[in-house]
Amino acid sequence: MKRPLAIVLVRGAALLVGLVSLAVTAHSGPAERGAALAFGVLVLVGELTRWSGTPGAAGPEVREPAPLGAAGALSYALLGEDAGRASHHGAFQAVAVVLAASLLGSVPHIARGRGDTLDHLARRVLTVFFAAVCFQPLYATGVLGRWGGPAYALVLLALLVLTALCGAVLAAVPVHCRTRWPFGPLLREELRGLLGIGSAVCATGAVMALGVAVAGLWALPVFALPLLLAQLSFRRYAAVRDVYRQTIASLARATEVAGYTPAGHARRVAVLSRAVGREMGLSEPELTVLEYAALMHDIGQLSLVDPVPAGATADLPAAEQRRIALLGGAVVRQTGVDREVAVVVERQADPCPEQPLPARIVRAVNAYDEKARDAGPGGPLKALEELRLAGADDYAPEVLAALARVLARDGLTLPVAG
């Protein structure tokens, strides 16, 4: 399969930078080998312990799967002194050491078939190169020393912000190219993630570099240990999130097992709802609520004495749809799932203008799946057109337009509304 040009360019740039860095370092010989080894080991440990679960299993908060490795790499790029002695390793050696350690630490992940490893390595190489090229010449020429402490701190802060922005763009590009999701919302989510783990990585990297400048390499384990413990704790948290998601999926299948809805209906609605929500620019926490609500949108049917034929609630009278939705919301509240999920389930049958956006999406996608399932040849086209003809009081036009774009991107020939 032909790779998108943007991914080829990013990986090609990272490969070029990596090869040049390795060649320059091998030709001139590594400077301060003890420091290079110490930082290399730190990056290696971070890569070996980075999150390697299935995408989405760790929840939407995953922005940096190897925070310790990222902090160690950034600190080496910003290292100017070692226990008061000037460091002369330069930008190319910083990239070479980080690349070698990251490659070695990625071997287990590559063996597990992680498809995002190359993008991860490319992002690591390019962000380290950017930070080192900006910082090392300024420090080596004595410019930062002449400016003094406040100016040094401001330059370091500005450099951290620019490096974080560079990393956010490099993280959003491959996802956009592979999925064709809108680039703006993806980049916005990456930038939002900088307020969490991203800021911790940047701060720890800078503090590590300053600590080594004063106390020497012994500062590395002191500052690295809290981040390592946080990373290991995050893996436990991710496992809990995975179990939580699986529990909700199992609850959603109860209507299928009981024969109230067709097999796979809840999962199809959840996947398509999430895609439509992403198309409309919802944040990751909002997408998670939307996905859970879509999975459990039919759970109110368990309270019915007689199942709805084929589980198709979209054609029921409004009062009956409302009753099933309220029953479903009551069930969701008893499961301990977030209250926001119950609200979406309850309000999916409200008049469209009064619904929150997630409820509008679940309503439209549910009706689309029900109608397309039984429409035979040309079902997607017929179902979408039927929803459009129903009017804005039943289904939100902006949701249907997003749904059309998502379906068209998935290979269905659909008229895309504006």
Locate the domains of the chain by residue range.
5-240, 253-409
Q: Quick one: pLDDT at residue 63?
A: 56
CA atoms within 13 A on the CB side of 343: 10
Give per-residue pLDDT as tens, 10-45. Answer: 999 999 999 999 999 999 988 889 999 999 999 998
Q: Quick one: pLDDT at residue 57?
A: 36
Contact 368, 385 (CB under 8 A): no
CA dist 380 and 393 (Å) reads 21
CA dist 146 and 131 (Å) reads 20
Give the three-state DSSP class for 41.
helix
253-409: CATH architecture: Orthogonal Bundle (1.10)
Give the three-state DSSP class for 385.
helix
Whether pLDDT at 55 is above 50: no
Question: Which residue intervals of 141-264 are DSSP H helices?
Answer: 143-147, 149-179, 183-193, 199-215, 219-252, 254-257
Give the model's confidence band at 263: pLDDT under 50 very low, under 70 low, under 90 confident, else very high. confident
Give per-residue pLDDT as tens, 78-93. Answer: 988 888 888 888 899 9
Q: Which of 40-49, 62-71, 202-211, 314-323 has the lowest mean pLDDT?
A: 62-71
DSSP assignment letter at 302: G
Give per-residue pLDDT as tens, 209-221. Answer: 888 988 888 888 8
